Every structure is written in C-alpha cells, then in structure tokens.
Amino acid sequence: MDTELETFKTDVLLPELAASKGYALDRRASSRNSVVMRHPDGDKIIIARYEGTTHWVYFSVRDDRDNGTVIDFLQNRGIGSLGLVRKTLRDWLGTSRPASQLPLFVKELQPVSRDRAGVIAAWEMAEPCIALPYLTARGLGPDVLALPLFAGCVRMDRRNNALFPHYDKEGLCGFEVKNKGFTGFASGGIKGLWFSQTKTTDGRLILVESAIDAMSFHALQGDMFTRYMSTGGELNPQQPTLLRGAMEKLHPSAVVVLAFDDDEGGEKITKEVEAVTPAGRKLIRMKPEGGKDWNDILKHKLGLG
C-alpha cells in the first residue's frame, strides 16, 4: 500500500478541492450522504464516502469513465502524471487554503454503501421530466408534471423510462422505473417512500401505492393544501417506521387519507398503516370507486384506453 496516496484519498476534502476547480455546490440536490456539484462548463459530479473506508470518491454525470478518488479527479482534469498529482496534493495539504464556504455537512458526509452511491449517480444522470409519452397516455401530461407540487419528483432516463425517487432517513435510497408494460426498481436500491413537495400548511396527507396514483388523485381532486406519499406497492420492513415518522411531522389537525388500491393488496396495506398510525391522528379510508386505482379513474374520465 502506498501510504502517501492513501493519505491523499482520505485527508483531502474532495468537495473543497472541486470547489477550487470551479465546481459549485448544488445544495438542493445534495444530502447528508452525497454532495452534488456543478461546473460552469456543464459537468456535474456526485461526491460520497464509502462504508468501510474513509476515502472520498466521485462520479461524473457527463462521463461514465470519469470517476474514482481524488487522484482520478485530478488526473481526469489534466494534471497529468501521478508525480504531478502527488506534488499538487502535497501543496494542497501543506499550505493554508482559503477558508471553505461549503456548509459543515459537506465535510462530514455519512458513509454510504457502493450500491447506494450507484443509485445516487444513476439518479443524477437522469433528466427532469415535464413530458413523457408513457405518462401522457396515462393522463399525466405537462400540466400535471410541471406543477411545483411535483418538482423533482419524477425524472426520465436515457431510455425514456419514468423514474420516481424513494427516500429513507439517510436520503435517496432507490427509484421506481416505469414504462409501458414495464415496472422495475433501481439496481442496488431499496424502497423508501416517494413524496411530493410539502408545506407546513398542508392539511391532508394522501397515501397511495404509486406516484402515478398520487398525481392522478391530484388531477382528479387535489388542492393547494395536500401532500402525497407513495409506498411503491406492498410494504417492506423499513416502510412502516418511515410512514409513522411522516405522520408525526404533520400539523396536529391534518388528516391522513388511506387511498390505496381497491383490492386485497390495498386492504392489507391499509391495515398495516392503521397499526402504526400515531395516537390521535385522524384517518380516512378513501377507495377509488369505479376502478382498481386512481389512475384507472383518471383515464376513464379523460377517455383514455
């Protein structure tokens, strides 16, 4: 093992070094286990730390081959030989650098697994989705997708699949992948909860089985004081705790609407959510009468097949 190189990979704060090369923090896209930074030339990188090691690592969204440690970061940006990289990083660690303007959480990222880091990188490679034939055919056109309520809640990958992000207590943990005749989940990811944008004035939380049902419900009977959350189907072991936490954060007078599918699976999830609902929280069971789910109702209303 090359002790000096190991020291560089651990002790050089990659977000600070990236900032010195012109990259700026995208705070909205960053979390406590990953940092997203953008360069004026259009490049976007994700920085993280792996579990089981103290190395800083990065991924470029623009180029799949541009990834690795601080060593790779400099070499892929024209520093050249390993000898020059060593000299640059010796100087970086040995001189007084300008005071960092990056927030504290950037310096103290929580380690992530390689799987989660891959999920984050894949998500950041996707583009914001404001129109997609697959969703338009289901009654969810630009008029719905462009609503501020759903900003950042759906993206589109290079194969024109719709991606719906899931989050747990640590941040982005996976995403659903949907297209005509196809439903999947991010490789290496796990289900958390998908949710819309939230406001402190929200008086309702609508719980459904898919993001498409959430958007469909809103198109049918939504208002300015409603937030949405999806389980992505049947519950896994971590989701009951996440759901309880989401309900605890609501205003005391807010109502939780259990708008799961009108079938055996929907009833099962309803009972599971009822079992973890905080005491005193008002629950309402609302079924999509006339169809199995809310998207069925929306498509019927719009005359879509």
Ranges in the chain, pLDDT < 50? none
CB-neighbour burial class of residue 41 (10 A; exposed 0-12, middle 13-18, buried 19+): exposed
Helix (H) or strand (E) holding 47: strand 44-49
- Asked if residue 247 lies in contact with residue 241, where contact means CB atoms within 8 angstroms, the answer is no
- Asked if residue 174 lies in contact with residue 232, where contact means CB atoms within 8 angstroms, the answer is no
CA distances for 62 relative to 155, 201, 223, angstroms: 16, 39, 38
What's residue 1's pLDDT?
A: 63
CATH code, 126-302: 3.40.1360.10
What's residue 96's pLDDT?
A: 64
What's residue 133's pLDDT?
A: 96
Domains of the chain, residue spans: 3-113, 126-302
Q: What is the pTM of this model?
A: 0.88
What's residue 302's pLDDT?
A: 96
Helices (H), the chain: 3-11, 14-20, 70-75, 82-94, 104-107, 114-125, 133-136, 142-145, 211-221, 239-248, 264-276, 294-302
